[in-house]
Amino acid sequence: MYRPILATLGFILSRDKKSVLLIHRNKRSDDEHLGKYNGLGGKMEAGEDVLACLKREIYEEAGIHCTETELRGTISWPGFGKNGENWFGFIFLVNGYQGEPQATNAEGDLHWKLISDLGSLPMWEGDKYFLPMVFDGNPMPFHGHMVYADGHPVSWNYSRGQLSLQ
């Protein structure tokens, strides 16, 4: 039976839309993400919907309030967790926010990085498969399935749904 950990992952655009706010996970030696850059987000709590989770996590991690969000896609990550846990993520683009992001939090330092430079940063190996779709402007969300084994992706497939205006 598939019972994944549900989580959100948000990519916050700069006001000029050329950069994205990332966390450099560099604070905890026991962090499975240590040394990697990533979007902001985390596990859903009981009683939360995905948008409430995203907003809470971004406020906790960056000290800002999301005012405009866009669901870009979903990804099922079987085997992704430290002990082979399954994860299911809701991937968001944050196009607007209030406040100024803090420089650091308990997990790492926050940095604005050019979207065009993301491929050169230390990130999860599988991020290269879906990150282009987060920023491509296509209105259709993607839905991916990325199997992980021993910390590496072993397969990737996705589909993009039809946009339906009713």
Listed by start position, the domains of the chain span 5-159
Cβ within 8 Å of residue 135, ≥6 positions away: 11, 20, 93, 115
Segment 112-132 shows an average pLDDT of 95
pLDDT value for 165: 55
Q: Which of 121, 123, 152, 134 is nearest to 10 (CA)?
A: 134
Q: How far is CA 100 from CA 36, 42, 113, 118, in A?
A: 23, 20, 16, 22
Round to whole Å and give the CA distance between 59 and 66: 8
- Looking up tokens 């926050």 gives 110
pLDDT value for 27: 81
Round to whole Å and give the CA distance between 92 and 133: 11
Q: pLDDT exceeding 70 applies to what percent of the chain?
A: 95
The DSSP letter of residue 116 is G
This prediction's pTM: 0.93
Contact 22, 30 (CB under 8 A): no
Q: What CATH number was assigned to the domain covering residues 5-159?
A: 3.90.79.10
Q: pLDDT exceeding 90 applies to what percent of the chain?
A: 83
Residue 137, pLDDT above cutoff 80: yes
- Sign for the CA dihedral angle at 145, 127, 99, 14 comes to negative
Compare 70 and 162 and report the one with higher pLDDT. 70
Residue 64, pLDDT above cutoff 80: yes
Residue 161, pLDDT above cutoff 80: no
Segment 114-131 shows an average pLDDT of 95
